[in-house]
Structure 1
């Protein structure tokens, strides 16, 4: 009865035992395995699936970059428009100091008409 119990426990230990002394005497190295140059190769379907996945990732990255750039351009344009409006307001205030208010308003309307004609 004790022999039956000891046999299953002894089997895993037998697999862990060393193969014997190494010929070159370097027992601290791991035992070498067979060289298999085709072991790292993947199937054509797997390579195609990987290419499709990387293409999808790159497309998503490109889309995100374009969205970010569009948002940046929108903010820059809004800032430019705001600065232009501020400069124009300051210019009209400077004109109003020397001219009558109604004449300045007439000039504004005239300039707006000219801007619309040019565009």
Structure 2
């Protein structure tokens, strides 16, 4: 008998509370709750914890963005260096067509020395 009453009480508790007709007749609206302006307020310690957590997240995001930007810059510089090398190679090939090969090699060495002195 006690089991039957327990199951009956459980089914009654799980059933939605039936309210009467709304006074204004708008039954399709959700029933209003009491206005409690202090419900959303949190304690100062809790707000501090949330701010610390948010600061940690922001710092991690910033670090990840910096890593991503550094990787992008590395790729860009690699591409630029590769293009400069190919341009220089093409320039020397054109010079070789016009001049003797040994003279071109001498010019290459001289230009490299000048580059070392400039930087």
TM-score past 0.5 threshold? yes
TM interval, short-chain normalised? 0.7 to 0.9
- 1:42 aligns with 42
Query: By how many angstroms is 1:65 displaced?
Result: 0.8
3-state secondary structure, aligned to 2:67 = helix
Let me know the Cα RMSD of the aligned residues. Answer: 2.9
- 1:81 aligns with 81
- 2:95 aligns with 95
**Tell me, which stretches of 5 or more residues in structure 2 are unaligned?**
none
TM (normalized to structure 1)?
Answer: 0.78
3-state secondary structure, aligned to 1:34 = coil
Deviant stretches of 4+, over 4 Å? 5-8, 10-13, 29-32
Residues 10, 77 of structure 1: alpha-carbon distance in 2 compared, 3 angstrom cutoff: closer
Mapping 1:1-119, distance limit 5 Å:
9=8, 12=12, 16=17, 18=19, 24=23, 26=25, 28=27, 32-119=32-119
- Alignment: residue pair count: 114
Question: Rg larger in 1 or in 2?
Answer: 1
TM (normalized to structure 2)?
Answer: 0.78
